[in-house]
Amino acid sequence: MGQPVKISIIYYSATGTIAEIASTLGKVAEAEGAEVRIRRAPELAPDSAIDANPAWRAHVDATRHIPEATADDVVWADGVIFGSPTRFGNIAAQLKQFLDTLGGQWQQGQLADKVYSGFASSATRHGGQESTLLALYNTIHHFGGVIVSPGYTDPAKFVDGNPYGTSHVDAQGQLPVDDDTRTAATVQAKRVVALARTLAESEAA
């Protein structure tokens, strides 16, 4: 047996939806034999904005124990799954800021030839989930990464209907993460682990 495949799940979550999906992805990846790091992007919003939304403040306080993402979490991994709520059809500034700090690692070629995937959430149906994931994947092209989307590789994907990555409509917190979303996350995590393992073993051979 070789070393376990290494998966980092790096996300930004304001009120908890994306964090819950990240937890599901992590549990499935571990069950598939991966070594997993779950990391959160640093919060950039001022306390005045956070305090204006009780759910936001509660989530910030409840997740302080989760380590903040560093460049090493990307360099270390064989596969990285990024997660973000949609912000006007794009990823949240907090996750984008983290990605923008990786220029040094990119220049050294340390981000290339890894598996990458993404997940998202929005307040409304058709609220930018697909464009958020596609925007995220633009960055991965620049990394020289290998995008592993779930596609329609499992019958469950015809239920949630997003081939680009796991996504959830939370209706401003009124719709908690459900079984359809957890099933989609399961499909995605298994696929990422399997293909990251194949790529890592190929490079080690």
Burial of 163 (0-12, 13-18, 19+ CB in 10 A): middle
What does the pLDDT read at residue 3?
Answer: 86
Query: How many angstroms separate the CA atoms of 191 and 39, rounded?
Result: 20
Domain 6-204 maps to which CATH number in 3.30.56.10, 3.30.1520.10, 3.40.50.360, 1.10.10.10? 3.40.50.360
- pLDDT tens across 72-107, in order? 999 999 999 999 999 999 999 999 999 999 999 999
Extents of the domains making up the chain? 6-204
pTM, two decimals, is 0.96
Please count the other Cβ atoms lying within 10 Å of the Cβ belonging to residue 151.
Answer: 14
What mean pLDDT do residues 178-203 have? 96
By the 8 A CB rule, do 38 and 22 touch? yes
By the 8 A CB rule, do 65 and 19 touch? no
